[in-house]
Structure 1
């Protein structure tokens, strides 16, 4: 497949191809400004439903969402001919789910988790930055966001412990 002329623009195929539609966060990754933030917001919409599950059920969703994401992000990246197209936001969706696992319900914890995850995903402190530069394919696309989610999860649970 030929490289797209504008890899920052979502291809029209995301509205026809179900795998691309999912990888692009059900269309949220097609936003021209801050697609990762929009994808994170879509992921955030699912969290109240995930919090209704038993802890092990939510954890199972995290595992399955991550494994599916390794495959999905790799497939869509290959289909588009662009490694880690900015519109691929399945990784942000799973990352925010990780951030908010086992967090008490409440809008303030959702907001705190959202902010922590976005800051870590954007700044990419070590080792997230190393993974972002050196791990490729679907695993690479997903792994930096999974690590950002784990780091945000730890920080958020520290806040819960201090202020919860």
Structure 2
């Protein structure tokens, strides 16, 4: 059974044998040896770029569906590992970054880099209420919820920066 930080090859195989594990681990990006959240966030940029042309309402629908799938996938993957919020579970980074980057859909390229940095800052720093939810909500919902809130905070800051520089 895994700890929060160690993922042995048997756990990795069990996760990749399950569609939930495959999704929860960000299609393998969560298997990075260190900085799994950063690698998951970087991997999330690829589908964002591919779908960047979607309208804001379509993006919101994508985010809602990805969130619901993430709650399920992270719950199942957490049960496989015996750890609620293992570092390898990075689907929450995908959804959180996509929320952050909503204002960047019609912004210059540097907004993606700034959005990435802001999201990582809020995800690691966990100011209130992010830390409160992180400590108290468990299971798949707990895995997803703190990153959604971090994404909202980072997205608001990104939006304000874009307003100022325009």
* TM-score between the two structures when normalised by the length of structure 1: 0.93
| Structure 1: tracts of 5 or more residues without a match | none
Contact 1:9 1:30 (C-alpha < 8 Å) held by counterparts: no
Select the residue among 6, 20, 31 that pairs with 1:9: 6
Distance 1:60 1:95 in 2: 14
Distance 1:139 1:9 in 2: 22
1:9 CA drift (Å): 2.7
1:130 CA drift (Å): 0.4
The aligned counterpart of 2:98 is 97
Select the residue among 98, 101, 123 that pairs with 2:125: 123
| Structure 2: tracts of 5 or more residues without a match | none
Contact 2:103 2:158 (C-alpha < 8 Å) held by counterparts: no
CA RMSD in angstroms, aligned pairs only: 1.3
Distance 2:16 2:87 in 1: 16
Distance 1:97 1:39 in 2: 12
Distance 1:82 1:24 in 2: 13
The aligned counterpart of 2:111 is 109
The aligned counterpart of 1:83 is 84
Distance 1:107 1:49 in 2: 14
* TM-score between the two structures when normalised by the length of structure 2: 0.92
1:15 CA drift (Å): 3.3
Q: Which runs of 4+ in 1 moved over 4 A?
A: none
